[in-house]
Amino acid sequence: MKTKPVQQLTLSALLIALSVLIPLVMPRIVIGPASFTLASHVPLFVAMFFSPKMSMVVALGTSFGFLLTAPFIIALRALSHLLFAVLGSLYLQKRPQIVNHPKKFQLYNLMIAMIHAVAEVIVVAAFFLLGGSPQVSYDTSMFTLLFAFIGIGGVIHSLVDYNIAYFIVKTLSKSFPVPIFKKASNK
């Protein structure tokens, strides 16, 4: 099912606004320079159920919003979301029926979470190695930061947020046309 361009633009704008607003109001866990805000990825994950194009727009819009409102490293991490969002959305387009199979969906969710975390580890490592933060030493604290907090913590954070998004979108799909759920019900 195709949505009208005005609907897509409006929904994309609302999701971008939510992406920038959520970190201001939701609980946050901060461990060193790593931080995890509950539901911060939900708007982007919601976009993935609509289209790769919407996922791309929301990822870019969110990155720009964070460039204006947050530290530069946060904007770079948000920009890295472009990778998993587009890949994940393309996968959903090809296999929409996965949303009807909880075990398969959770495996897909884990793969997206791993791509998400690896992309953020690469961005953060590059940022620190290029001198973006003089507070972090390049010894065990760097390893701990990257792999334990950004890597493993990022996977867990992604898994939780995608499940929240799935629950929201599945509920909305009962009264609002969500393309992936519409395609899944037709197969």
* Per-residue confidence in pLDDT tens, the chain, 187 aa: 455 889 999 999 999 999 999 988 988 887 765 678 889 999 999 999 999 999 999 999 999 988 888 888 888 999 999 999 999 999 999 999 999 999 999 999 999 999 999 999 999 888 877 876 555 555 557 777 778 888 998 999 999 999 999 999 999 999 999 999 999 998 6
Q: Spell out the domains of the chain, with CATH numbers in brackets.
A: 5-178 (1.10.1760.20)
User: pTM score, two decimals?
Assistant: 0.90
**What's the one-letter identity of residue 149?**
F
| Contact predicate 123/77, CB 8 Å | yes
Under 8 Å between Cβ of 86 and 157 = no
- Calculate helix-pair angle for 179-186, 153-172, nearest 10 degrees: 70
Quick check: helix, strand or coil at residue 25?
helix
- Cβ atoms of 154 and 117 within 8 Å: the answer is yes
